[in-house]
Structure 1
Amino acid sequence: MMVGGLQETVTAEHLIRQVGSAAEHGLSGVWAAQAFGWDALTALTLAGTAAPGIELGTAVVPAPQRHPLVLAGQALSVQAATGNRLTLGLGAGISMMVTGMYGLPADRPAARMREYLSVLRPLLRGEAVSHQSETLTAVGQVSVPGTTPPILLAALAPAMLRLAGELADGTVTWMTGPRTLADHIVPSITRAAQAAGRPAPRVVAGLLVSVTADAAGVRDRVAEQFGLAGHVPEYRAVLDREQAAGPQNVVIAGDEAQVERQLRRLRDAGVTDVLVAPFGSQDEQDHTIEVVAALAAADHHNG
């Protein structure tokens, strides 16, 4: 389950309640996005104290704004504080934000990410690095007790999917529909992992989900709140693959049976984990969590 406030600003108390709800319903993990609210890794450290035992994931931390030495220290600190439960989701960032907000270059995202991972991975293993190039300098070591967290790479374009299969442990997607997952994401990253001699990749699909009697109304609200994503080149490309006009066309919404069918389409597409972002009124969100948890428990029982 996604926590931390996609729809509204949340307090620490609200965040703890979200995490507690996920744990009480038997969900396997909580994930935090890095946007304009909570720092994702800080939120997960708090989450770890509220829900011992469940997975903690970022979906995702944009890499350009965090030097690998800084991110390695943060990630290993979360590992040490939470008993090694972190899955580190990384992304190249939305180019217009990387350049417009931070003044950082956003060209050659796959090449930059390859270089970033070549430095980050040994740092997460506690190794010293000495790397100097035109685009990245990193000299040093991070010493924090804890195990190396698995890395998932946000990947939509072919080059980034190849990189995710080769150097990461899988991918995490956002607002990506079942057709694109089945025909593009899953086969591309799986081929890359096989070619690199790596295990089958994890594919975590993040989607807005709402169990509701007013699916049309939910889609209208999604269009209003998340419509800007439909104009961002990175998301526009994946929505076009899905033949979707906007984010409202990939939200999972409807009654319990409709939501179950849509979630099972993701499993059939080869998704290994569904990352649910409950959407709607508080009652709709609560009901969504209950329904998703029941489906997850039934799947677990049936093997």
Structure 2
Amino acid sequence: MRSVRIGLLLNAFGTHLDTVADEAREAVRTGLTTGWLAEQGGWDALTTAAALGPQVPGLAWGTSVVPTYPRHPLTLAAQALTVQAATGNRLTLGVGVSHRHVVEDQFGYSFDRPARHLRSYLSALVPLLRGESVRHEGETLRAVGSVTAPGAEPPSVLVGALGPSMLRVAGELADGTISVWAGPTALARHIVPTLTRAAEGAGRPAPRVVAFLLVGVTAEPEARRTELSERFTRIQEIPSYRAVLDREGAAGPADTAVLGDEATVERALRALAEAGATELIASPVGTPEEQSRTKELLAALSSRT
């Protein structure tokens, strides 16, 4: 398979922190090299990485993703650089604007023109991560100051971006994107070319394209797909997700899941790589036995790249 780094989404929602640590250690034992942490109304992703990083020295850490609106760039830069210091500089910082129903209904902020917000936010955050002093005066964001973090290197910054405007901002100002519910069609025809053109236009290196997937090695793929369809039924109603699912020709998230025997899963992952994904975030699904088989396959594939 084309060289693609494979990471594991750690189950940090509704589980004890010790359980997350055990899962991270298991990932290292199986041969996986990156553990990704989501923010789903549970453990804070960056704090979790700082706490567990020293306990699991063989694992790189990523956030997928930290919402921007509730964290000022000065605050997020300090958090991210603290994680870098705590983990020996093993963090990939994934950020995103989240969604209107979260930003407005839960946080109480305006979600007006989120791409404008993202551009302003990254214009302050990225220099701060490099240790630079900023004086940024945007339409909706002001950031003045700097962050001092001796020994902490600036982490790679990825953006949870799916639409054209967000992808252009990610390509121009960040190191790449984390895509969700995007299969090979949406990646090859929309995400990768849009992101790459923006990066090239800004004189930046080839971007990282990190694809998030539900993956399950199983003898009952249709049964698992039905379960996932019931579990993720509301996801397809979120506008940004609905748009990328339409680009993929998928009715819902379950249709983008990679399910089947080892050969079937390997072919599907190869197709994503050929579509331009440089990295994968795999979220194992199915029974405990099926999830174990899935992790073993992912580790085997990872060792070949």
Give me the TM-score of the superposition, normalised by structure 2: 0.94
1:19 touches 1:50 (CA, 8 Å); kept in 2? no
CA distance in 1, matches of 2:40, 2:99: 11
Q: Aligned match of 2:15 in 10, 21, 27? A: 10
Q: Which ranges of structure 2 fall in alignment gaps of 5 or more residues?
A: 1-7
Sequence identity (%): 51
Is the deviation greater in 137-146 or in 265-274?
A: 137-146
Write out the 4+ residue segments of structure 1 that deviate beyond 3 Å after TM superposition: none
Superposed counterparts of 1:21-170, under 5 Å: 21-145=26-150, 146-170=152-176
- Cα distance change, pair 4–143 in 1 and its aligned pair in 2 (3 A): farther
CA distance in 2, matches of 1:134, 1:295: 46
Deviations 1:79-135 (A, max 9, x none): 010001111011111111111111111111111100001111121112222233441
Which residue is equivalent to 1:272? 278
Correspondence 1:20 to 2:15: no
1:31 touches 1:44 (CA, 8 Å); kept in 2? no
Is the deviation greater in 68-77 or in 131-140?
A: 131-140
Superposed counterparts of 1:111-260, under 5 Å: 111-145=116-150, 146-260=152-266
2:24 touches 2:59 (CA, 8 Å); kept in 1? no
Which residue is equivalent to 2:3? none
CA distance in 2, matches of 1:257, 1:17: 28
Deviations 1:43-73 (A, max 9, x none): 2123312321332111111111111111111
RMSD between aligned alpha carbons? 1.2
SS in 1 for 2:212: strand
Deviations 1:20-61 (A, max 9, x none): 111111112111111111111112123312321332111111
2:89 touches 2:153 (CA, 8 Å); kept in 1? yes
CA distance in 2, matches of 1:207, 1:89: 16
Is the deviation greater in 78-87 or in 170-179?
A: 170-179
SS in 1 for 2:232: helix
For residue 4 of structure 1, report the CA deviation from its aligned partner: 3.1
1:76 touches 1:147 (CA, 8 Å); kept in 2? yes
CA distance in 2, matches of 1:115, 1:234: 20
CA distance in 1, matches of 2:292, 2:88: 28
CA distance in 2, matches of 1:283, 1:108: 45
Q: Which ranges of structure 1 fall in alignment gaps of 5 or more residues?
A: none
Deviations 1:149-178 (A, max 9, x none): 110111111111111111111111112111
Q: Which amino acid aligns with 1:48?
A: G
Q: Which amino acid aligns with 1:210?
A: G
CA distance in 2, matches of 1:227, 1:42: 30
Which residue is equivalent to 2:4? none
CA distance in 1, matches of 2:50, 2:59: 12
Deviations 1:166-202 (A, max 9, x none): 1111111112111101111111111111111111001
Q: Which amino acid aligns with 2:241?
A: Y
For residue 15 of structure 1, report the CA deviation from its aligned partner: 0.3
Which residue is equivalent to 1:261? 267
Q: Which amino acid aligns with 2:57?
A: P
